[in-house]
């Protein structure tokens, strides 16, 4: 998600490239107004900003997000195990980024879980108040009926009405008891901070380089070198004529 990637971007990373911790915008050296961004989003922002001063912080952030998008990949197997791969210039930073992603995801899920649990608890509280009011009203109606009909023997209609009123009170009482139980569970759920994601293996720095491919670099360098050599030869031949 953008939130997780943004946290990664603005986290301060210790690197071999700098003598002090830097964020990814600084690490990739994209924090300069004179730099040309390859991110189309930054072009759109600049176009619609008109004569106003561009929001470079937003431009740099979007540029970093675009780079980071191609550096992180995740896969899930049939058992639900999720693997995260991070490609960075320095293996130590890549490993730390993967581990930070886990902590960020745990914090995010706990936060979302807490909000949902709070909404659930507040809903139960409202239902409790409604049922409590309704139950008190039904109990009052039953009390008045009994006071006005102390002897109902021989009157099927009064007996049926009494049974109906008693049944109504009993049903609402059971609903209130159920809501009270759910309320206690909701309170426990609201304060619970157990993560729904558990790490099995922490990320470790890779001992092998994944990108760029050395063979590809050699082939491209050889190809480009050949073109330059041929071009130079043609120019030199024309000059000698």
From residue 71, how far is each of 54, 62, 67, 208 by CA, in Å?
Answer: 27, 14, 7, 16
Per residue of the chain (241 residues), what is the pLDDT tens digit?
788 888 888 889 888 888 899 988 888 888 865 555 556 665 566 566 655 566 778 888 888 888 888 888 877 777 777 777 888 888 888 888 888 888 887 787 788 888 888 899 999 999 999 999 999 999 999 999 988 887 777 788 888 998 999 999 999 999 999 999 999 999 888 777 665 555 555 666 665 666 655 444 344 444 444 444 444 455 455 555 5
Centroid of chain to Cα 213: 33
User: Do the beta carbons of residue 37 and residue 30 sit within 8 Å?
Assistant: yes
pTM (whole model) above 0.85: no
Question: CA 107, CA 101: separation in Å to the nearest integer?
Answer: 10
DSSP assignment, residue 53?
P
Give phi and psi for 74, each to the nearest 5.
-135, 145
């Amino acid at each position: 998600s953008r939130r997780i990637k943004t946290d990664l971007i603005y986290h301060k990373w210790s690197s071999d490239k700098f003598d002090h911790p830097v964020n990814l915008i600084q690490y990739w050296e994209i924090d300069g107004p004179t730099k040309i961004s390859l991110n189309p989003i930054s072009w759109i922002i600049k176009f619609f900003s008109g004569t106003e001063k561009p929001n470079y912080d937003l431009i740099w952030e979007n540029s970093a997000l675009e780079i980071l998008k191609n550096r992180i990949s995740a896969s899930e197997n049939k058992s639900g195990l999720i693997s995260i791969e991070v490609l960075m210039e320095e293996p130590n930073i890549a490993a730390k980024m993967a581990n930070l992603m886990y902590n960020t995801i745990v914090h995010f899920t706990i936060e979302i879980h807490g909000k949902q649990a709070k909404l659930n608890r507040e809903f139960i509280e409202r239902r409790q108040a409604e049922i409590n009011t309704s139950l008190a009203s039904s109990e009052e109606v039953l009390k008045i009926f009994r006071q006005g009909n102390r002897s109902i023997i021989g009157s099927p209609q009064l007996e049926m009405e009494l049974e109906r009123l008693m049944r109504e009170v009993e049903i609402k009482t059971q609903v209130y008891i159920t809501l009270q139980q759910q309320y206690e569970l909701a309170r426990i759920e609201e304060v619970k901070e157990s993560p729904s994601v558990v790490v099995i293996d922490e990320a470790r720095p890779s001992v092998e380089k994944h990108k760029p491919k050395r063979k590809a670099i050699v082939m491209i360098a050889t190809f480009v070198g050949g073109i330059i050599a041929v071009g130079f030869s043609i120019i030199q031949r024309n000059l000698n004529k």
